[in-house]
Amino acid sequence: MKRSALGKGIAALIPEAATLRPGAVTEVPIGEIRPNPLQPRRQFAAAALEELADSIRRHGLLQPVVVNRAAAGGYELIAGERRWRACRLAGLERIPVVVHEAVPDADQLALALIENLQREDLTPIEEARAYHHLRSELGLSQEEIAARVGKDRSTVANALRLLQLPLALQEMVDAGELSAGHARALVGVHDGDRGEAIGRRCAREGWSVRELERRLQPPARRPARPADPETEAAAERLALALGVRVEINRRRRGGEIRLRFASEEELIRLFRALAGERR
């Protein structure tokens, strides 16, 4: 099935207030508009909404929301859910909208995603879930997603990796307790329980991303002490006598000799040599 192209992108469906043509905007009852189920954004801060609602009470809604005429009647939001929610808080009965007909799901989701990305309104996890929906439900490749939202393919790929985090850590990122940088560092922890424990401690103690990365580094291995020439010579002599690789490891008190064999036959031969048995 051929996918619908976005053409000029979000600007084609979301005009700026200064460039609206006469008659391009109409007013509809706010109760006839319902949220877009494809909206990637799930977090709407109550304090910020109330602040926007107060501005709308004083100045009105300066930029219309964009809606799709629904087949079952009424309208479905394509872009502007935050403004629509604030208008409801402000008590508006009618709001200005730009109405479009039969916008495909792929374009609705891409437009909602682009609008939020341009305003930096999405959490890193919301952004990743939107990319995942575009890929799994609408069949878009990472390259196609990147082209639609104006991002590099690597940016899309790195965002999708965040969905590998345990759900508890995803919720912490959504809540702003962990940043995208923290999340990217924690993706590398393959033990989910350990990653969650480290993430909670990181949030609780306020670690920076650099501090988290430092703590996730494996402990540095202590360099082995170089063997003295006499020990190396003894190991070589034993290796020649036994026909296997020999390591002599000396400690402060005592040490060990390691003999490495490559097959069952070599083990039997080595055993007989050490036990003094004749072949």
Domain boundaries, the chain: 10-160, 165-215, 229-275
The closest of 102, 126, 147 to 5, measured between CA atoms, is 147
Q: DSSP letters along 66-127, please?
A: EEEE-TTSSEEEEE-HHHHHHHHHHT-SEEEEEEEE---HHHHHHHHHHHHHHHT-S-HHHH
Is the whole model's pTM more than 0.75, yes or no?
A: no
- Digit-by-digit pLDDT tens for the chain (279 residues) are 333 333 333 343 333 433 333 336 788 888 888 887 666 566 677 777 888 888 888 878 877 888 877 777 788 887 778 888 888 888 888 888 888 765 555 566 666 666 655 555 678 888 888 788 778 777 788 888 888 777 888 988 999 999 999 999 998 998 889 999 999 999 988 888 899 999 999 999 999 999 999 888 887 666 666 668 888 888 888 888 888 888 888 877 888 888 888 888 888 888 888 887 765
In what order do the strands lie in the sheet containing 33-34?
A: 26-29, 94-101, 65-69, 75-79, 33-34
Report the 10 Å Cβ neighbour count for 15: 17
Catalytic residue flag (residue 81): yes
**How many residues does this entry show for the chain?**
279
**10-160: which CATH architecture?**
Alpha-Beta Complex (3.90)
Query: Among the options 16, 27, 50, 81, which is catalytic?
Result: 81
DSSP one-letter code for 19: G
The closest of 145, 122, 114 to 132, measured between CA atoms, is 145
Helix (H) or strand (E) holding 162: none
The closest of 169, 166, 170 to 128, measured between CA atoms, is 170
